[in-house]
Structure 1
Amino acid sequence: MGGAGGGSASQMASAMLEAKSMSNVSGAGTFTESNGMVTFTLSVAGAPPGEHAVHIHDMGDCSDPGAMNAGGHWNPDMKEHGKWGVDPFHLGDIGNITIAQDGTGSLTLTTDRWSVGTGDKNDVVGHALMIHEKADDFVTQPTGNAGARIGCGVINASK
């Protein structure tokens, strides 16, 4: 079930990252669904160099200073935390982004496991895109030992 259908216009959603946990993180994530595939593109600035976990969290609420209102990882299938594409894993377990010495980084992922604006259990809209202080170790339950939440943005459907 996808929002694109046979040849119709693609469905889009985006999240503007705001700094959390006293970081300087900014950036944006976009989700574009076309022909049953969703392409996620993330651009980050102001982050410390190195590897940082990227997750989708359950609640679309980035209002508190540590982004704790976003809840845990988005996990509609109730699976254990893990590495994207290697079962088991949460639908919110995107992986790690590499941040360069200048504080910038980008990441792209294409999948048929998400949808955009469909309202079904795989719909990314209404959740929170999160950048963490540390890399995801892909093992520690249920968080990947990724540390503080340093960037958060609510995923909203684009009009």
Structure 2
Amino acid sequence: MKRNLFLIGTSIILLSGCSFFGTGEKEATIPVAAPEALQAEAKMTNTEGNEVGVVKFTEGDEGVLVSLNLTNVPDGKHGLHIHTVGKCEQPTFESAGAHFNPANKKHGIENPEGPHAGDLPNVNAENGQVVTEFVAKGITLEQGMANSIFDEDGSAIVLHENVDDYKTDPTGNSGARIACGVITPIE
């Protein structure tokens, strides 16, 4: 038992950065790993079935970090939404259903009766690329929660042809669905 106490005490001294050996130099600290965050991804394809990139999702304290890395996207601003069904059938992606909306709100962050949980910020494509990230506060990757995107039929993320006006129900006048990806957990 005394040996175990010595080892615990040594670990505490090393972790605090104090000198255990009396040399005056600080020993290297041992990083303590935090629990792994829930993660997911969606491989995006366009209406012709060509892969155009990936969207990654990481659960955090403030919401879900959404990171996009897309190519071959028409330049300009585009609406982006999470949809209720984890299915992306070409060419229209209508199989993804409506916007993810477990609280039955109206569409748009500027709509006083909104937004949908799946309403996300517009993204901008320059030279065919979308590389951006933001925090989505209306969703979670944690299964069993009311706003979890991992319900019985999953969810998809959809890139739209036009900019979302953030207020017109039900879609923000964002136009046709030009890319889609089924959101899948990363284990």
Alignment of 1:63-82 (within 5 A): 63-82=89-108
* Mapped partners of 1:35, 1:51: distance in 2: 28
Determine whether 1:28 maps to 2:50: no
Listed as ranges, the gaps of 5+ residues in structure 1 are 1-6
* Cα RMSD (Å): 2.1
Determine whether 1:149 maps to 2:174: no
Partner of 1:54: 80
Which structure has the higher relative contact order (CA within 8 Å, separation 6+)?
1
Identity of aligned residues (%): 34
C-alpha contact (below 8 Å) 2:111/2:166 kept by paired residues: no
How far 1:24 sits from its partner (Å)?
6.1
Determine whether 1:12 maps to 2:61: no
Q: Which of residues 65, 89, 95 is equivalent to 1:39?
A: 65
* Mapped partners of 1:140, 1:35: distance in 2: 30
Structure number with higher strand proportion: 1
TM-score w.r.t. length of structure 1: 0.85
Partner of 1:118: 143
Partner of 1:3: none
C-alpha contact (below 8 Å) 2:49/2:90 kept by paired residues: no
CA 1:111 to 1:139, structure 2 compared with 1: closer, same or farther past 3 Å? closer
How far 1:150 sits from its partner (Å)?
0.4
Q: Which of residues 150, 163, 166 is equivalent to 1:138?
A: 166
State which structure, 1 or 2, has the greater radius of gyration over its C-alpha atoms.
Answer: 2
SS in structure 1 of the partner of residue 95 of structure 2: helix
- CA-to-aligned-CA distance 1:67-86 (integer Å, 9 cap, x gap): 00111100011000012797
Paired residues in the alignment total 151
SS in structure 2 of the partner of residue 94 of structure 1: coil
Amino acid at match of 1:147: G
How far 1:112 sits from its partner (Å)?
4.2
- CA-to-aligned-CA distance 1:102-142 (integer Å, 9 cap, x gap): 20012312244321142322112320100000000112210
* Mapped partners of 1:70, 1:24: distance in 2: 17
SS in structure 2 of the partner of residue 69 of structure 1: helix
Determine whether 1:127 maps to 2:152: no
Structure number with higher helix proportion: 2
